Amino acid sequence: MTKREIEIFPIAQDAGTFVQLIEGAEVHAGFPSPVQEAYQSQPIDLNKELVAHPATTYLVKVVGDSMINEGIDAGDMLVVDRSLFPTEKSIAVCIYEGEFALKRIVQRDGAVFLLSGNEAYPPILIGNPTDLQVWGVVVWVLKRK
């Protein structure tokens, strides 16, 4: 595993910044949809929409390409909740051998593995499960397009 740095950002509470929400409108990826019935509603607070547990949630900026097949790319921002327990369907921020890793945690035949979302990276066998720390579960992926 190569050494990677991640940037961790706390989530500001009561920042007073809101985003306009267009209610009644669905954005179709196929044919255009009529907009007559769509109307603008009150602004929404993205903290309230994205953060279920403010005291245990933080943002992480992704470095590297180990999760590209999971739809997570370098530069993406992740909303990570430390209060959630990871399952095999979860993507977790972990610390293993003193380094951060963004992986799936999988148990097979009594062994614990960290799995990447990129075939170029082999599974990592965790020799001693007490050496693995889970820093939270990814609940949102925020992308810049």
Tell me the two tokens of residue 119.
């075939």
Question: Out of 90, 103, 116, 145, which one is annotated catalytic?
Answer: 103
Q: Please report which helix (H) or strand (E) contains residue 49, including its range.
A: helix 46-50
Q: Give how far Cα 54 sits from Cα of 32, 68, 79, 102, Å.
A: 37, 27, 11, 21
Strand-pairing partners, residue 95, are 100, 133
Question: Out of 33, 66, 89, 116, which one is annotated catalytic?
Answer: 66
DSSP single-letter state for residue 14:
S
66 included as an active-site residue: yes
Active site residues: 66, 103
